[in-house]
Structure 1
Amino acid sequence: MEKIIKQLPGKKKIRLLFICSGNIIRSVMAQFLFKKYLKSETQSIDKFQVDSGAVLFKNNQIDKKTKQILQNEGITVALDDFKPTYLKSKDNKHYLDEADVIIAMTSSHIRMIPKKFRSKAFLLTDLSNTTEKLPDPFGDDIKPYIESFQKIKPLIIELIEVFKKYNIIA
C-alpha cells in the first residue's frame, strides 16, 4: 500500500478507484465517504478523480439500503444520478487503466482484475492493524449494511490521514 501511495505526490490529478463485487454497496459507500471527508479536510478536492466499479456483477442502480445509509450520513449529492460501473464491460476498461490507486474490499476482488493492474491495488482493510473482513451484505436486512458502513467509514478516514502523511493533501 505505501509503495503505491508514495508514487502519488506531485501528480496533478490522482485517480482513485474503489472496487467490489457489484458496485452497489461497499465500493459506493467508500467512494461517497471519501469524497465527503476529502471535501471537509482540504480545498484540493479537484486533485482527485474518485470512482468505483464492479468486478463481478453488472447492476443498474445503487442498493436502496446503501442509499438510505449514505443519506443518513448527510450524503445526498449525486446519489440519485449514480449508476454502477461494470469494469469488465468494454466501455469501462479505461477505469482500471487510468486509475493510480485501486482499493478493493476483498482479496478476491484484486484477483478478478487483470494482472497488469494488480500492482496498483490494495485492500481497504490494509489501512488498519486488523484482519477484519468487509463481507458483502447484499440481500440481508439493514443491520449487516450498517455494520459494513461502520467498518468502511473509519478506514476511509484513515486513508485521508495516509494521504496527509505523504503530503498528497495539505
Structure 2
Amino acid sequence: MLIRVLFVCLGNICRSPMAEAIFKHMLEIENLTSIIQVDSAGTGDWHIGKQPHRGTRNILGNKGISYKNIYARQMEKNDWKKFDYIIVMDEQNIKELQKLQSNKGMTIARLLDFVEGSQVCNVPDPYFNGDFEYAYQLILSGCQHLLQFLKESHQLTDKER
C-alpha cells in the first residue's frame, strides 16, 4: 500500500513546502516513508524552480527540519490522478483548485480540517503577513493530526512498517 499526499498553497514557497518538510520529517521519525509519499505544489506559477522562501527556510532550519530538494512547482494535471489526498492551506486554494480540477471525484481538504475543534480554518500566508512562526505552529498541528488520521484510516500498524 502506498499513500500519496500533496500539500498545496498559492506560490509553493511558504506554506506548502513547509508542510511537505514537516510531514516528511514526521514520516522519517515514524518509519513511514515507504508507505506515505509527500510532495507540494502551488496554484500559481510565479516561483517555479525556486527554493522555499527565506522565512520558511529559517524556521525549518531552526527546528532542525530539512528542506533539501524542495523546489516550487505548479499543480499539474497528472497530480489529480497521482495523489490520494490533496491538502490545501486555505479556502482560496480550494477555489483555485476547483477551477483546475480534472477529477471531480477527488477530495480536497484544508490542512486544519484535520485539527478537531480548531478555532482557525485557514493557515495565513506568511509571504504577506511575515509571521512564519504562527504558520509553522498551525502547519505542525495540522500535520500531526493528518498523520494520525492516515494511520487510523489506513490501519497503519507497526507490523505494516
Name the TM-score class by shorter chain: 0.7 to 0.9
Unaligned runs of 5+ in 1: 1-11
Alpha carbons 1:33, 1:153 under 8 Å: kept: yes
Alpha carbons 2:5, 2:37 under 8 Å: kept: yes
* CA deviations over 1:98-118 (Å, ceiling 9, x no partner): 111100001211121223446
User: Residues of 2 paired with 1:15 and 1:50: CA distance?
Assistant: 6
Equivalent residue in structure 2 for 1:101, among 70, 80, 85 = 85
Question: What is the match of residue 4 of structure 1?
Answer: none
Structure 1 residues 98 and 167, CA gap change in structure 2 (3 angstroms): closer
Deviation for aligned residue 1:61: 2.5
Alpha carbons 2:12, 2:74 under 8 Å: kept: yes
Unaligned runs of 5+ in 2: none
- 2:55 maps to a residue whose letter is K
Deviation for aligned residue 1:35: 1.0
SS in 2 for 1:150: helix
User: Residues of 1 paired with 2:32 and 2:45: CA distance?
Assistant: 33
Q: Does 1:148 align with 2:135?
A: yes
Equivalent residue in structure 2 for 1:28, among 2, 7, 17 = 17
Question: What is the match of residue 39 of structure 2?
Answer: 51
Equivalent residue in structure 2 for 1:73, among 57, 60, 63 = 63
Q: Work out the number of aligned pairs and report it.
A: 150
Larger relative contact order (C-alpha < 8 A, sep ≥ 6)?
Answer: 1
SS in 2 for 1:109: helix
Structure 1 residues 130 and 80, CA gap change in structure 2 (3 angstroms): closer
Deviation for aligned residue 1:30: 0.8
User: Residues of 2 paired with 1:131 and 1:32: CA distance?
Assistant: 24
Question: What is the match of residue 84 of structure 1?
Answer: 72
Deviation for aligned residue 1:161: 1.2
- TM-score (norm. length: structure 2): 0.84
- 1:83 maps to a residue whose letter is Y
SS in 2 for 1:58: coil
Alpha carbons 2:17, 2:70 under 8 Å: kept: no
SS in 2 for 1:45: coil
Identity of matched residues, %: 28
